[in-house]
Amino acid sequence: MLYDLIDHDLIDVVNHNIDAWEDAVKTTTRYLEQKGYVTVSYADAIIQSTYDNGPYYVLCPGIAMPHARPETGVLKTGLGIHIFPSGIEFGSDLGPANILLTLAAKDSDTHIEVIQALSEMLVDEENIAKLTAATSKKEVLDIIKAY
């Protein structure tokens, strides 16, 4: 179950607008850093990777999964879920993202279970709409509880 696989301390609704995508990445990775999932350099690695490769992690309209390579500061596998009140513009053709799923993967295999459960939830457009409209961490947890 996704609800049991995700550290609930890595889930939050950000109640203020963030204009720069770099600030959004720093905000979401700070949660991972504070809980010992990544080092302080991980946010910079994501930002540099985006400059180098573009916003490859914008999955679809409204959803982005910022991440970088494991050797750039990942200490253990974790996933942060953050909902922003207005979309963060990463420069993707898919448009801005309100839902940031910040991934810290220790290697290419250990996060598969979380990604599979997450994709089950996100395949339903109604769940995406509910997540986008969420105004509290409790609402987010209630949505993922079914997965």
User: Which residues are designated catalytic?
Assistant: 67
Reading the block at residue 43, the tokens are 């946010």
Q: For the chain, how many helices (H) and strands (E)?
A: 6, 5
Provide the 10 A C-beta neighbour count for residue 116: 12
Please state the length of the chain.
Answer: 147
Report the C-alpha gap between 135 and 127 in whole angstroms: 14
Residue whose C-alpha is closest to residue 114's, from 28, 31, 11, 6: 6
